[in-house]
Structure 1
C-alpha cells in the first residue's frame, strides 16, 4: 500500500512541478547590438546611453534595463504640434509543449510621456511618466495563446515644440508557464490513483 501511495505522490509531483520561465520575454535594452522590441511604424529600437539629455529627467539606465527610443539621436524632439503615438511590440512564442492557460508574467514600466501595456490586445497596465516615482506595474495571468503572443506598449508623447524626446522602458519581474506533462506522467498518475482506489476497495471488502 505504501509503495502504491508513493507512486501516486511521485506522479502528482511530476505533474505539477514542470514550470518554466517564458522564453522570449526580456527587458528593454537587454539585447546585444539589437533589441527585439520594434515599432509598428517601421522604426527600429535604439538603446539609449546615460549621461546626456534626456537623462537627468529620465530614470537612469541600469544593467537590468535601458530606455529605448525611435531614433539614434536620443534627445531628438518629436511631436512639436500634436501628440504622437508609438506602439512598441515584443513577440514571444508558447509552443505546444506548454499549457498556455497556466502562463503568467508581471513587471513594471515607464514612458515619455504615458503608456498602456497590452497582452494580445488586452490592456494589462498603465503608466504615467518617466521618473522613478512614475513607473507602474503590469501583470497578466490569462489571455495567452499557444503559439505566437504579442506584448505591446502604446506610448503617447505629449506635444511640445522643443526638448521633447520619447521613449520606453520595460522590466519583467517574473514569468511562469507549466509544461504539458509527458504521456508517461499521465500513465503513472492514472496507474497510481487506480491502484490506490483498488486497494481501498479491497480494504473495505474485508
Structure 2
C-alpha cells in the first residue's frame, strides 16, 4: 500500500505545473526594422501629439551617436516620431506613456516573475498593473526592474512606462528602450489531464482493495 501511495504522489507531481517563459513580453524594437512602428508598445501623451505606436530607431545618427545606448540585435530605442532626433517639448516637460500587455490566461499568475532592464530620455517610472516596480533616470546606462508573484493578475497584465522628457528648446528628443532578461510562469494542467489522473488513482485504489481482501 505504501508503494501505491508513493506512485500516486509521483503521478500528481507529473501533472503539476511546469515553468515556461512568459509569452507576450517583447523587447522594444525586437523583430522590427529601423523606421518601422513597434506595434507591441502603444504610445500616448498628454503633452504632445503622437501616433498610436513609437518608431524603431537606427544607430549612427543623433541621439544614438554617442548619446543614447547603442541599439543591438536584442533591442532598439523607440521614439514618438519617425524623426528620431526631433526636438520635442521645447517649453514644457513632456509626458509619454508606453504600454504593453501580456496574457496569463491558462497559467498560474501566482508563480510568475521576470527580470528586465530599461533606459529612457530623460527619466521613467515603470508600473505593472498600476503598481510601481522600477525607475530609470538616464539614457546612457541601464536601470533594472523586476516583478514577482504578488505583482501579477490572472488574465491580461499591463506594463506601463511613463517617460518624462525635460523641457529644452533644442536637441531634445525622447525615447524608451526595454529588454527582458528572464521570465517564467507555471502552466496550469488542463481539466482532462486531472480527470485522467483521478481515473488512474481510482483504478489503483481498486487494485489495492483487492490485494487487501485476497
Same fold, judged at TM 0.5 (above) = yes
Q: Indicate the structure whose relative CO is greater, using CA pairs within 8 Å and at least 6 residues apart.
A: 1
**5+ long unaligned stretches in structure 2:** 209-214
RMSD: 2.6
CA deviation string 1:63-116 (max 9, x = no partner): 000000001100000111121110000021122x11222221120000001100
Q: SS at 2:151's partner residue?
A: coil
Count of matched residue pairs: 196
What's the TM-score, normalizing by structure 2? 0.81
Change (3 A) 1:46 1:34: closer
**5+ long unaligned stretches in structure 1:** 200-206
What's the TM-score, normalizing by structure 1? 0.84
Q: SS at 1:37's partner residue?
A: strand
* Mapped partners of 1:40, 1:93: distance in 2: 21
C-alpha deviation, 1:31, in angstroms? 3.5
Question: 1:128-167 counterparts in 2 under 5 A?
Answer: 128-132=137-141, 135-141=142-148, 142-167=150-175
Change (3 A) 1:180 1:16: closer
Q: Who is 2:211 aligned against?
A: none
C-alpha deviation, 1:40, in angstroms? 2.2
Which has the higher mean CA deviation after the structures are superposed, 119-128 or 1-10?
1-10
Judge conservation of contact 2:15–2:194 (CA < 8 Å) in 1: no
